[in-house]
Amino acid sequence: MTSSTSIDINLARREMVILGTQYAGEMKKGLFGVMHYLMPKRQILSLHSGCNMGKEGDVALFFGLSGTGKTTLSTDHNRYLIGDDEHCWSDHGVSNIEGGCYAKCIDLAREKEPDIWNAIKFGTVLENVVFEEHTREVDYTDKSVTENTRAAYPIEYIPNAKIPCVGPHPKNVILLACDAFGVLPPVSKLNLAQTMYHFISGYTALVAGTEDGIKEPTATFSACFGAAFIMLHPTKYAAMLAEKMQKHGATGWLVNTGWSGGSYGSGSRIKLAYTRKIIDAIHSGALLKAEYKKTEVFGLEIPTALEGVPSEILDPANTWPDKKAHKDTLLKLGGLFRKNFEVFTNYKIGSDSNLTEEILAAGPNF
């Protein structure tokens, strides 16, 4: 062992041992790992994603690492929640693996996330939070135990949950990235090869403090937006995703919920209201009808106009005052993507190598 904490699964004995951690999420995630092994054997795709459904029966999947807005954006009052984290996509449609939600509650506020706030009542388990012993009032801002405080509640505590948590085949597959470099567009429409490329990459950027207190973005890549849980080669899941998307006519989207007009420190975070407008336009099908142009380096299709969102922010090149800095940062991020993808390049997807070539070509070109 390299640490005092370990989570071990024995598939043959159907046994899991969790040592040295008091994070209950290891139970949920351990079983999620098991699902990533068992489901593909049955031609069912297991996905680390949020999922909701519109009144018309249109289903959307949301992929994204921590802090990209996956839970926030999949919880939508005008839509039914199928689930916030773990799903299967079979020949019959989508289904939630879980029977509830495991929501982060650091800095939770009634105004910001009323659904989660209201779900915290008798029957909900709060984990690692600090509370006043006499009044039993929780201080959600207190991170003295850990920043990773959680609330576990049954899915029916969310008023617009769809019970049972199943739905038809997805129409939209939304990949979320919080790009602290500020060069990815607020929204891009992806072709199948690009969807596979960005799904296998699983990118977001964290803002981490360095030794000398300077905060700067660092790129994080997690294959299939859930590298810790996948049991097979990432390209296996990507090929299954593409096959299902093609078969059921789903569209892939890359949505940046991060920075615009500059990297972290100089630019500003894209307003949640704008991101919600973008997501609404994806759900309604309006964004499919928009006019598109191609960006350089990543070759992404971006809309030229979208109702409720200022047109100038749709192309990051417009929002950066320093054009050279924009180009340099774009090339830097392209390089990081390329370096990360080297691990997957020698792997064949499907019986021919054409698909691998096609996915590679869908990455940054410079």
pLDDT band for position 211 (50/70/90)? low
pLDDT band for position 357 (50/70/90)? confident
**Contact between residue 149 and residue 105 where contact means Cβ atoms under 8 Å apart:** yes
Cα(144)–Cα(366) distance, rounded to whole angstroms? 46
pLDDT at 125 over 60: yes
> What is the average per-residue pLDDT within 106-126?
93
What does the pLDDT look like over 78-94, one tens digit per residue? 999 999 999 999 999 99
**pLDDT for residue 291:** 97
Torsion of CA 224, 100, 67, 95, to 10 degrees: 30
pLDDT at 213 over 90: no
pLDDT at 124 over 90: yes
pLDDT band for position 71 (50/70/90)? confident
pLDDT band for position 215 (50/70/90)? confident
Q: For residue 119, count other CB atoms closer than 10 A to its CB.
A: 23
Cα(183)–Cα(263) distance, rounded to whole angstroms? 8
Cα(172)–Cα(253) distance, rounded to whole angstroms? 7
**Contact between residue 35 and residue 11 where contact means Cβ atoms under 8 Å apart:** no
- What string of H, E and C letters represents the secondary structure of 234-261? HHHHHHHHHHHHHHHCCEEEEEECCEEC
> What is the average per-residue pLDDT within 10-33?
94
**pLDDT for residue 352:** 59
pLDDT at 161 over 80: yes
3-state DSSP assignment of residue 104:
strand
> What is the average per-residue pLDDT within 59-63?
98
Q: What is the mean pLDDT of the chain?
A: 93
**pLDDT for residue 92:** 98
**pLDDT for residue 77:** 87
3-state DSSP assignment of residue 17:
strand
Cα(278)–Cα(62) distance, rounded to whole angstroms? 13
**pLDDT for residue 131:** 97
**pLDDT for residue 344:** 85
pLDDT band for position 353 (50/70/90)? low
Cα(226)–Cα(85) distance, rounded to whole angstroms? 11
> What is the average per-residue pLDDT within 200-223?
83
pLDDT at 210 over 60: no
pLDDT at 209 over 70: no
pLDDT at 356 over 80: no
Residues of the chain above pLDDT 70, percent: 96
pLDDT band for position 350 (50/70/90)? low
Tokens of 95: 């289904």
